[in-house]
Amino acid sequence: MTELDIRVVPYDFPDARELVVAALADLAQRYGGVGDETPVAVSEFAPPAGAFLVAYLDGLPVGCAGWRSHGDTGEIAELKRMYVSPVARGRGVARRVLAAVEDSAREYGRRRLILECGDRQPEAIALYKGSGYERIPDFGYYRDQPDVLSFGRSL
């Protein structure tokens, strides 16, 4: 891999929007519909309540993920919109973006990161399991869906 630069950007920053649209298209292809109907607001990804990160490979936006506060203890963050474009897959970008999100959440006092994904995302499941995430009780928007898988990890 050449130069990977991971930056915190607003959720509605053009590069972030482009990657989120691609992420939702990927999910729509796997699951149908619009991909993910979870309510998400731009303000949820603004520090100190959250952050959104974009990964640039040789100056091109190739991956993203964000975290937003979950619950009211101030200790839990939820991972959202984790995505790496097909041109950058298999190069360690996802693992580095996930680590950057964890670092960011930790920096703002979060002690745990949780996430939802679906059972048709074997790459994501392998990433999360390989990064120390364990299955937790389902939560969130899709908690009652049969294909949802929820994971969590202490930071």
In the chain, the domains with their CATH numbers are 4-154 (3.40.630.30)
Among the listed ranges 28-37, 42-51, 67-76, 110-119, which one has the minimum average pLDDT value?
28-37
Residues 69-122 pLDDT 10s: 999 999 999 999 999 999 999 999 999 999 999 999 999 999 999 999 999 999
Q: At what angle do helices 122-130 and 93-107 cross, to 10 degrees?
A: 50
